[in-house]
Amino acid sequence: MTKSAQSSGQVVEFGSHLIKRAQWQTAPDAISWWPETPLWTAIFITIVACIIGWTILSGYRFLQKAYVRQTRRCFIEFDSSNDLVGMADLLRRFSQQHWALQSLSALDPKAFSKCVVELTATAKAPRSSRVAPMDLALLESAMCALLSNSYQQNPELEPIQRQLIKKWFEEVTC
């Protein structure tokens, strides 16, 4: 017999022996994808609870601020159509909704605008978006003019007053 034939026979015998040996062994148990320790279970449940809680809270806040989004849309519509009566009505309705704990409905235009400006100044807004202190008096006079002029037949506002009211609406509704 040649040397190459003899060596190939040994390889076949060695391989068949391994195959027969593998058939006699039992397969190992499957490894679970879920960790067996209770700490990992607690961590997973905590993470899932936090995600569910955050989702519910975000949805609640979104629904709670629906009036702010609607006010912004209405203000843009009234501003583009130059409807000062609608803007004054929107200012009153939004302020009464936004600061519900204050009694704003019975106030005259001057007291109403002063109260709204004070509430805006004390609101928890970022420092960069707050109206400058010297503009508060101008904003108060602009709101008073808007509320007073809205009862006239042809209401008009000065451009600076319109700009201040528009800036206030953007600040409060963003």
Domain extent listing, the chain? 64-173
Q: How far apart are CA 85 and CA 92, in angstroms?
A: 11
174 residues of the chain, pLDDT tens digit each: 555 555 555 656 666 766 766 666 677 788 888 888 899 999 999 999 999 999 999 999 999 889 889 999 999 999 899 888 889 899 888 888 888 777 877 788 888 888 888 888 776 555 555 555 557 888 888 888 888 887 777 878 888 888 888 888 888 887
The pTM score is 0.63
Give the CA angle between residues 19, 22, 25 to the nearest 5°: 160
For 11, 73, 74, the CA distances from 62, given in Å and listed in that order, are 73, 16, 18
